[in-house]
Amino acid sequence: MKLVKGLVAGLITTGVLFSSPVKALETDQYLTWNVELKDSSQTFNDYFNNELIPNYLEKINKRPNKKTKEELVSGLYQYAFQGLYSSRVRHFLNNSEEIDRFPDKSVSFREYKRESIYRSDLPFPWFFLPISRTLNINGNYLGVDKIGHFFGFGRRYFQEYTKLTDKGVNEQKAIEKIIDRGIVLEKLLVGGLIDGVFSSADLEADYQGFLLARKLSSSDDYFNLENGKWKQIKPVDIISFINPDFDETYNPSYYSGLRKPYTQKRIKELYAEKENEPIVHERFENYKKHKHSFSYNYVREHKGKKK
């Protein structure tokens, strides 16, 4: 009984803190192990700085009540990603002719899923699992869903972090608390409990989105209020916040429930012997040059404790 009450309390608390709908979107980078995608870094950076930010600033500058810089950044994130089915940035990445994706638009989502590690005969709702396509950002192969996490949950991390530090919680403790809550959310509402997938790569994207939001709000280098109007001072390098740990083949997910035997079997059968193929080996060697984030190490320590 205590366990059930604790679970319910956790769900309610997480829902209140993050105000997130119960949805899950997964990705499969294994399918790109023998695929070279064009780097979309410049295209994504240009879109973020030359279209998304100017359009957002134009919108809010028409309003009489001016935001604080924290509110400005939080609003920018929400403008980029309001939700799974209302996302400007996701629409751009999925539809721009300048973005190289795998599989391309000629392949239906049904065909894509049939070839992915998530193909299975699981009963409802386990079989109903939308799959995100993969793109290459600065040599990092990641699902479009990770950019949704970057803005959607990065914003929630940032808002909760701001509340905690405003209450006097020290920076380190505040960061640990937001990661802890992200882990709970990934376990229950957008991952493990819903579709049997606990994605460490999702949590890395959440954290990196938070880091960018904190940088934009704490620096005078990017936005300034002049004569009642917000202006962008210099471009934002969003690419520097995307790293190899967004790739679910390098930073693997954990599977549970009915999902576990099906997915792990497919990975073993299809990819166990392919990891040392030249294209995969080279990609992973480049990945290893990257230093893992605090969140990555914190999440792995948590998973080690929970076995």
- 62 has pLDDT over 80: yes
> What pLDDT score does 192 carry?
65
Residue 256: how many CB atoms within 10 A of its CB?
Answer: 15
Percent of the chain with pLDDT over 90: 71
Q: Average the pLDDT over 147-172 and give the result.
A: 97
Treating both helix axes as pointing N-terminal to C-terminal, what angle do 69-80 and 53-60 enclose, rounded to 10 degrees?
120
- Give pLDDT tens digits for 174-196: 999 999 999 999 988 776 667 78
Confidence of residue 306 (pLDDT cuts 50, 70, 90): low
pLDDT band at 206 (very low <50, low <70, confident <90, very high): very high
Q: How do 134-137 and 101-102 pair as beta strands?
A: antiparallel
What is d(CA 245, CA 51) in angstroms, rounded to the nearest whole number? 27
| pLDDT band at 9; cut points 50, 70, 90 | very low
Rounded-to-10 torsion of CA 205, 306, 123, 251: 30
Q: Closest Cα to residue 200, out of 106, 91, 306?
A: 306
Percentage, residues of the chain above pLDDT 70 = 86
Angstrom distance (rounded) from CA 113 to CA 127: 10
Every domain of the chain and the residues it spans: 22-306
Is residue 24 within 8 A of residue 194, CB to CB? The reply is yes
| pLDDT for res 17 | 39
The answer, yes or no, to whether residue 228 has pLDDT greater than 70, is: yes
pLDDT digits (tens, 9 = 90+) for 91-136: 999 999 999 999 998 998 889 988 999 887 665 555 567 789 999 9
Residue 161: is its pLDDT beyond 90? yes
* Residue range 8-37: mean pLDDT, rounded: 64
Q: Counting beta carbons within 10 angstroms of the beta carbon of residue 5, is it exposed (0 to 12), middle (13 to 18) or buried (19 or more)?
A: exposed
Integer Cα distance of 112 and 115 in angstroms: 5
Q: What is the rounded distance in angstroms from the CA atom of residue 75 to the CA atom of residue 252?
A: 32
Q: Read off the tokens for 114.
A: 């049939």
pLDDT at 113: 86
CB count in 10 Å sphere of residue 251: 23
Q: Among the listed ranges 92-96, 165-169, 261-265, which one has the minimum average pLDDT value?
A: 261-265
Average pLDDT, integer, range 229-255: 96
- Dihedral sign for Cα atoms in the order 219, 228, 58, 84: positive
Evaluate if residue 167 carries a pLDDT over 80.
Answer: yes
Structure token digits, residue 73: 């950044």
Contact 296/197 with Cβ under 8 angstroms? no
Closest CA to 205 of 263, 144, 259, 264: 144
Residue 291 CB contacts under 8 Å (≥ 6 apart), including other chains = none
Query: Can you give the pLDDT at residue 259?
Result: 84
The CA–CA distances, whole Å, from 51 to 92, 168, 199, 215, 297 equal: 11, 37, 30, 20, 35
Provide the mean pLDDT of the chain: 88
Q: What is the pLDDT of residue 25?
A: 76
